[in-house]
Chains A and B, each alone.
Chain A
Amino acid sequence: MDQARLHLMLCGGTGCHASGSKSFHEALDAELKNQGLEKEVRVIETGCNGFCALGPVMLVQPEGIFYQQLKADDAAELVESHFLKGRPVQRLMYRDPVSKKTMAHMDEIPFFAHQMIWAMRNKGLIDPESIDEYIARDGYFGMAKALTEMSSEDIIGEIKASGLRGRGGAGFPTGVKWGFAAQAKSDVKYVLCNADEGDPGAFMDRSILEADPHAVLEGMIIAAKAINATQGYIYCRTEYPLAIQRLSLAIEKARDYGLLGEDILGSGFGFDVDIYQGAGAFVCGEETALMRSIEGRRGMPRPRPPFPANKGLWDKPTVLNNVETLANVGQIMLNGGQWYASVGTESSKGTKVFAISGDINNIGLVEVPMGISLRKMIYDIGGGIPNKRKFKAVQLGGPSGGCIPEKYLDTPVDYEEIAKVGAIMGSGGVIVMDEKTCMVDMARFFMDFIQEESCGKCTPCREGTRRILEILEKISEGRGEPGDIETLEELSEVIKSSSLCGLGQTAPNPVLSTLNYFRDEYYAHVYEKRCPAKRCVALLKFTVDPDKCKKCGLCFKACPTGAVQWEKKQPASIDKEKCIQCMACYDACRFDAIE
């Protein structure tokens, strides 16, 4: 390889593509050529760096300078000032929303500083389309060790020692799962990777696939050797075209290098992988449903036992693991289980990737050691709540998770501790909600999701969630009656105890956790016909309180129908005839003057 003075690691993940990294890339290339720097300065498109909200982002190596929100127009200044004259451009650096300080280096930015990056270790550092760069970062070394020096028992022993638990939601110990499948007797066995990533608000799997596809393949090969499987499938959602493209390329390259296929590394062990595209059904993330879907049928869960370790895909012993789980495996082989287990809590070892989003300053993906507190995650890494609003709740665990209020923010993230406060770790979606979020509305939102995604096989799940949704809709429309809240609780218990799969068994969690912590909000809706967070349209009056109105006119500008009447130095008022209740004026008003 020829030497370059600087490497510009430009993010080419889905998020940054959407915010314009391609046009910036073109402008940058043109400008580097213009200045005759194309040999000295190399631009490399990486996968997602994690700080997508500030995209497009770029890291200048070896200096470690981090640029954000780059636009095509910035290319000329960057090249001229930084890459030619050596004066980094302050204007394009990160500015901390809390301290208001400009920060040049990636590792001083709080969002990155508290992270511990293992599963995402190559994000932003390598070209995901180059197998050589992956290998240069110790890639496939763990696999080589597993294939040439270790027996099936050794591999499983090492994974058990690491304490690794499944990152797809349930947190089942990975080594134990592999152990079961290893014991099953069969000529054909399968290793599957769950890249369906159905939980809304979580995007770590996508990010790992886009930034480091070989890490997932490496994990699958090791799993295959552990259970003696010959064929693998990656079940990836169609909504992730870039991930599918990079995975296909990775598979092709690995085959070229003899790292996939027959007789890998001359070890006598053979294994191959294909991609299977999902077709958009949340329930297909459930393991037995996923297997049916690969078989070409409707993705409906089936009762267990028999467990997939004995009867899985096409009735053969099968192991299914999540993307993030598999991304950890290669490093565990290389560094040993003890190394992995040295981080975390008693019951939850290693690191976990979280997708922090919602009403929070620093939106993105973070990887932290298990045991860190929610507070630290939300305030130190996430930078707290924007717009001077107050924290209200944090929702963990996707649609079947729960909402955690302020008083439990010191809970350490750990499978058991999170469960104690009524949520679940799930796949790691962390959605922060400020005081403008209505908890009844959120419960309704999750129930709408679940109701639509229920496969319909069990009556309690199918009918029960529909009933819950109807009641929640009624309450948020101001038609709540005494007894509704109690009915919600009863229905929830029935659904939980009589559903076949994880979807139904956890479906009522959003309702139960909001009822538990925010019961007063339900009461306000039912008994006072009032929405304290002012979110439920039917309960709003759409009038301006002249005492609170600061006469700023923001509502006037926001209104699409001309229903807001306002003149300079006059308080606003709303014409109910013209108002379409779109809420734009609410969102615009900084003074809570609209009721």
Chain B
Amino acid sequence: MAATDKLQHPDVTPEMIREIDDIIESQKNAPGAVIPVLRMSQDVVGYLPVEVIDYISAGLNIPSSDVYGVATFYSLFSLTPKGRHRIRACLGTACYVKGIKEVMGRISKEFDLEVGGTTEDRRFSLEAVRCLGACGLAPVVVVDQDTYGGISADQVSGILEKYE
């Protein structure tokens, strides 16, 4: 097992490292463990710094290039820090037809925030996702765990105000 002091990163606390150790330990022998381990570790840290990826590859005994390949392939994984609040705007067809483009345009303008980016103060990050499966409510935006359906560009700032 990789020694704990090998993982050094300002965003990763010793407590987090212990959690990651537990995750690796519990999944180590399961075939195809890389994706679940990356997902759970990302849940712990908030994103996947390079150091964490290296640490996981050492822990699972898989070449780090393979782990990298996986981390960059799936849209769930982020190698850069996220904001305190995650805005996920649906860019699925139903939402597009119902005007998500205008809603996203407003978010970008009001918070100076591009898709895939994070605000300077790390308050928000904005992601475009493909269909949240709530198309009946299109257009849909999810902030953290809260789903907002049938929204218009006008409602954007009212909704986001609540998230400090």
Contact = CB atoms under 8 A, between A and B. Distances in A.
B58 interface: no
B102 A431 contact: no
Interface residues of B, number: 47
Contacts of B36: 277
Contacts of B138: 357-358, 363
A341 interface: no
A246 interface: no
Nearest to A395: B93
A144 B129 CA distance: 41
A363 B94 CA distance: 10
Contacts of A437: 97
A560 B154 contact: yes
Contacts, number: 157
A298 B135 contact: no
Interface string A384-424: 00000000000100110000000000000000000000000
A558 interface: yes
Contact of A296 (B32, B97, B98, B109): B32
Given A279-B74, A281-B73, A363-B136, 14 more contacts: A53-B137, A200-B91, A201-B92, A203-B131, A203-B135, A206-B133, A277-B36, A282-B130, A296-B31, A299-B74, A359-B98, A431-B94, A583-B102, A584-B153
Interface in B70-112: 70, 73-77, 90-99, 102, 105-106, 109
Interface stretch (A15-23, A38-46, A125-133, A261-269): A15-23
Given A279-B76, A296-B31, A357 B94 contact: yes
A433 B97 contact: yes
Interface string B124-164: 00000111111111101000001111000110000000000
A280 interface: yes
20 contacts: A18-B149, A19-B149, A53-B136, A238-B76, A277-B35, A277-B36, A277-B39, A279-B39, A282-B130, A297-B34, A297-B66, A297-B69, A299-B74, A355-B94, A399-B93, A429-B93, A431-B94, A449-B91, A449-B130, A455-B73
B33 interface: yes
Contacts of B95: 200
A199 interface: yes
Given A15-B149, A277-B36, A359-B97, A296 B136 contact: no
A560 B129 CA distance: 26
B137 A15 contact: yes
B153 A560 contact: yes
Nearest to A205: B133
A373 interface: no
A98 interface: no
Interface in B107-125: 109
A198 interface: yes
A294 B32 contact: yes
A286 interface: no
A296 B33 contact: yes
A494 interface: no
Pick the 9 closest A-B CB pairs, nearest first: A52-B136, A200-B92, A296-B32, A279-B74, A18-B147, A200-B131, A357-B94, A280-B75, A206-B133
Contacts of B75: 279-281
A511 to B, nearest CB: 15
Contact of B70 (A197, A298, A355, A433): A298
A15 B134 contact: yes
A542 interface: no
A526 B98 CA distance: 26
A168 B95 CA distance: 21
A480 to B, nearest CB: 20
A517 interface: no
A238 B39 contact: yes
A363 B135 CA distance: 8
A445 interface: yes
A202 B32 contact: no
A135 interface: no
Contact of B102 (A197, A202, A358, A582): A582
A17 B31 CA distance: 35
B59 to A, nearest CB: 14
Nearest to A19: B149
Contacts of B39: 238, 277, 279
A539 to B, nearest CB: 16
Nearest to B146: A18
Interface string B7-39: 000000000000000000000000111111011
Interface in A123-146: none
